[in-house]
Structure 1
Amino acid sequence: MRRTVLTAAALLALTFQALGAGSPDPSKWQDVLAEARGETVYFNAWGGAENINAYLEWAGGELQKRYGIRLVHVKLDDTANAVAKVLAEKAAGRDESGTVDLIWINGENFASMKRQGLLFSPGWAEKLPNWKFVDVDGKPTIRTDFTVPIEGLESPWGMAKLVFFYDSASIDAATLPKSAKELLAWAKSNPGRFSYPQPPDFTGLSFLKQVLTELVSDPAVLQQPVDDTSFETATAPLFAYLNALNPLLWRSGKAFPQNYPAMKQLLADGEVDIIFAFNPSEASSGIANGELPDTVRSFVFPRGTLANTHFVAIPYNAAAKAGALVTADFLISPEAQLRKQDPKIWGDPTVLAVSKLSPEDKAGFEALDLGAATLKPDELGPALNEPHPSWMERLEVEWKRRYGVAN
């Protein structure tokens, strides 16, 4: 009888383990802090920009000093590589001690991880101590990622909106395009002076989604998962547009910049006249860091540009879950968010509601000089909804088939 009882107890323990029993609970924050001390957090995040890398180095120093956490920035050129690593570990039965503790993520990669059960338990993000400062009411994309409900499976880190840049020393602002169609007309008058990063680069795919959203006959179809019929019908205007645009691009569309930093360098070198980024402060940040001329300015399309939030997520099998929770909480602290929004540091817009902050922190944000090239919030124009993540996947495949080139 005793042997049977022990076996049942063992099975019960295994069941709780499979359900995640014993995982750190962010509602018991002091326990989380105690468990996190001494942990190493492997943060898989894009490593293609020096200012972002420097910011993460600063964050790592603060986490070590305050919480005894060692932050290792695993630099990615494609977030999908980290997702694939977690998926491979799950397929191999490695449900504990995974090699990825935290991922900078949004869009199709979040949807993929959620669909395949690769994320730490729902709700953790909204239990973080600094969640109380997050602007849930004013920024709807904090709870919906590319139409996919977040359910507390990832923590917001920064805001994004597609903004275009130009050098006012060489271009008259009155001639700037005000829509995707006008951009094509501008390219015809200025061949070789525009380009976009080659997909699967996120910024390049964002340009395709912007054009698609403007040209599609029924934007509502983009909020639903893609199918063969809807894809062919909805994207026909986009590919007709690209067929006309690509020969007019830098290097006649036979080569594309690899990513946003490479496109930014083309503007700095005077090889193109208009570029774009998913950060309203990017031009001011580039000026502050000596990467762009101080005559660069921003503009948007009056009828709207894409907007979203980017996040950090914890894989279900992360080895340092407690350390990852503390890291995610620190990244949405008023101090870390204020530093991140400074164009001299990064220029990434905050996810916090400044009105919720202490008088001291509120004053810090209000005193922040966002730079002459940064548009004011009321100048950014309407925010267009991101399509469902499945559209991004199909666009990438079809773009490669039609226009893919070797850089």
Structure 2
Amino acid sequence: MTTFSLSRREILLIAGSATGAAVAPAWAQSPTSAWANLEKAARGQTVYFNAWAGSETTNAYLQWVAAEVQAAYGIRLEHVKITDTADVVKRVRAEKAAGRQAGGGTVDLVWINGENFAAMKRESLLLAPWAEALPNFKYVDTVGKPTTLNDFSVPTDGQESPWGMAQFTFYADSKRLPQPPQSMAELLALARRQPGRISYPRLPDFTGTTFVKQALLEHVADASVLVKPPVAADFAKVTAPLWQFLDALHPHLWRGGKQFPQNPAAIRQMMADGELLLALTFNPNEPANEIAARRLPASVVSWQFAKGTIGNTHFVAIPYNAKAAAGAQVVANFLLSAKAQARKADISHWGDPTVLDLAKLPPAERALFPSQPLPGQVAKPAPTLPEPHAAWVEPLEKEWAKRYL
């Protein structure tokens, strides 16, 4: 009897196209022909992409993506504009409870990471592993950017495809702050020398929470405890050095640490006005964007702490019951193309750092990315420190509010 050896790539591609047009048996296909058949199944599908819509540049970028995938693959991409990804998780959860199985869902693709991915993975709300079978996944930097395979310390296991990078970054006018702090300890020393001229966003603002997590990473006795959910019995002991640091820092902050700015945009404006010495962001390209838009002077520089700052990857995922699963995979693969990643990294379009390893790209595609940093971009990127497990967020925010609000 003849037996057939089926590659993992072939299995995933065929499994993920179940809701599209009929395809040949997987054993009869090479990876190339399997993908070609998946593209054929995707043609004519409408992909409902649920994605945050709070940025004009992001919305414009998705309009460009929609035009590209329509022209190249015959896929209609609909941007379902959302304000909170948690609402999408609730919707898919409700569909599962109502028995809406494969092909019966209302969400085909979702922009996701962190707690929302952890919840969907835990509750089996995502399509079986498919991301690492995408043709363009081979260009992803899984070594230099390990968070492309690990979402807030939760392994992605091929259930979401990396889309963009983020890393905790500081920026300031070099004329006012010629020697930026390179650690939380140096930040505390600066705050003591310049009282009232440093702050961070009030939690639960995401950037404010990241500031607290960065401080936790720099003060925890054993960082390995942060890769797993916190144990209630040990939470106080693990976080005690963090609260000691914040207790020392807060009296020297803006308004004595009794009030905190609402969000990073408020801090950016206060820094631009000279009220604060530095600002903070999770997008390393934000200062360059602001300089290009002439909202910040060209003397603004950005940096990350010498030993590293928290970073993560944001992804796209496909719910288990997506109606256009084939089309969603084709769109996700396009989002990983050099063409799409270079446009997204371009500060004139978005300025979102790429997930690709440029050294893996053919020379012509590598040339789509700038070779030198622009004014305001990080000149010397620091190591990316992994996010603590997603389950740390809620208890940290609750304890912070209890202590400081």
Which residue is equivalent to 2:12?
none
Residue type at the aligned position of 1:140: P
| Contact 2:148/2:162 (<8 A) preserved | yes
> Does 1:29 pair with 2:25?
no
Q: Measure the CA separation in 1 of the matches of 2:75 and 2:273.
A: 41
Which residue is equivalent to 1:97?
104
| Contact 2:16/2:325 (<8 A) preserved | no
Q: Measure the CA separation in 2 of the matches of 1:356 and 1:363.
A: 12
Which residue is equivalent to 2:364?
360
Please state how far the C-alpha of 1:218 moved relative to its aligned partner: 1.4
Question: Within 5 Å, which residues of 2 pair with 1:313-392?
Answer: 313-365=317-369, 367-376=370-379, 379-392=380-393
Aligned with residue 151 of structure 2, among 140, 145, 156 = 145
Aligned with residue 113 of structure 2, among 106, 130, 134 = 106
> Does 1:241 pair with 2:237?
no
Please state how far the C-alpha of 1:119 moved relative to its aligned partner: 0.8
Aligned with residue 54 of structure 1, among 43, 56, 60 = 60
| Contact 1:167/1:296 (<8 A) preserved | yes
Which residue is equivalent to 1:162?
168
Which residue is equivalent to 1:296?
300
Please state how far the C-alpha of 1:402 moved relative to its aligned partner: 3.6
Aligned with residue 78 of structure 2, among 72, 77, 90 = 72
> Does 1:394 pair with 2:375?
no
- Which deviations, in whole Å up to 9, do the C-alpha atoms of 1:352-387 show, x marking residues without a partner? 12222222112222x4553122223xx222332221
> Does 1:173 pair with 2:178?
yes
Aligned with residue 130 of structure 1, among 136, 155, 169 = 136
The change in CA–CA distance for 1:362 and 1:372 in structure 2 (over 3 A counts) is same
- Which deviations, in whole Å up to 9, do the C-alpha atoms of 1:329-364 show, x marking residues without a partner? 111001011111122222222111222222211222
> Does 1:278 pair with 2:288?
no
Please state how far the C-alpha of 1:110 moved relative to its aligned partner: 1.4
Q: Measure the CA separation in 2 of the matches of 1:399 and 1:127.
A: 42
- Which deviations, in whole Å up to 9, do the C-alpha atoms of 1:157-209 show, x marking residues without a partner? 1222221100123x2322x3221122233233334433323333322221111
The change in CA–CA distance for 1:21 and 1:364 in structure 2 (over 3 A counts) is closer
Q: Measure the CA separation in 1 of the matches of 2:252 and 2:36.
A: 59
| Contact 2:18/2:325 (<8 A) preserved | no
Deviates more, 1:211-220 or 1:103-112: 103-112
- Which deviations, in whole Å up to 9, do the C-alpha atoms of 1:45-65 show, x marking residues without a partner? 233333223222222222223
Which residue is equivalent to 1:185?
189
Q: Measure the CA separation in 1 of the matches of 2:64 and 2:359.
A: 26
What SS class does the counterpart of residue 307 from structure 1 fall into?
A: strand
Aligned with residue 218 of structure 1, among 194, 219, 222 = 222
What SS class does the counterpart of residue 110 from structure 2 fall into?
A: strand
Q: Measure the CA separation in 2 of the matches of 1:196 and 1:276.
A: 8
What SS class does the counterpart of residue 313 from structure 2 fall into?
A: strand
Q: Measure the CA separation in 1 of the matches of 2:156 and 2:390.
A: 13
Residue type at the aligned position of 1:386: E
Residue type at the aligned position of 1:233: K
Q: Measure the CA separation in 2 of the matches of 1:333 and 1:278.
A: 23
- Report the TM-score when normalising by structure 2: 0.85
| Contact 1:86/1:98 (<8 A) preserved | yes
| Contact 2:17/2:325 (<8 A) preserved | no
Q: Measure the CA separation in 2 of the matches of 1:77 and 1:402.
A: 29
What SS class does the counterpart of residue 294 from structure 1 fall into?
A: coil
Which residue is equivalent to 1:8?
none
Which residue is equivalent to 1:13?
none
Residue type at the aligned position of 1:70: R
The change in CA–CA distance for 1:315 and 1:214 in structure 2 (over 3 A counts) is same
Q: Measure the CA separation in 1 of the matches of 2:293 and 2:305.
A: 26
| Contact 2:19/2:324 (<8 A) preserved | no
| Contact 1:108/1:393 (<8 A) preserved | no
Superposed CA RMSD: 2.6
| Contact 1:191/1:248 (<8 A) preserved | yes
Which residue is equivalent to 2:128?
121
Q: Measure the CA separation in 2 of the matches of 1:85 and 1:400.
A: 29
Q: Which ranges of structure 2 fall in alignment gaps of 5 or more residues?
A: 1-14
Number of aligned residue pairs: give it: 380
Q: Measure the CA separation in 2 of the matches of 1:54 and 1:264.
A: 23
- Report the TM-score when normalising by structure 1: 0.84
Q: Measure the CA separation in 1 of the matches of 2:90 and 2:194.
A: 41
What SS class does the counterpart of residue 311 from structure 1 fall into?
A: strand
| Contact 2:44/2:75 (<8 A) preserved | yes
Q: Measure the CA separation in 2 of the matches of 1:248 and 1:43.
A: 45
What SS class does the counterpart of residue 349 from structure 2 fall into?
A: coil
Instruction: Give me the identity figure in percent.
Output: 53
| Contact 2:169/2:309 (<8 A) preserved | yes
What SS class does the counterpart of residue 173 from structure 1 fall into?
A: coil
The change in CA–CA distance for 1:173 and 1:354 in structure 2 (over 3 A counts) is same
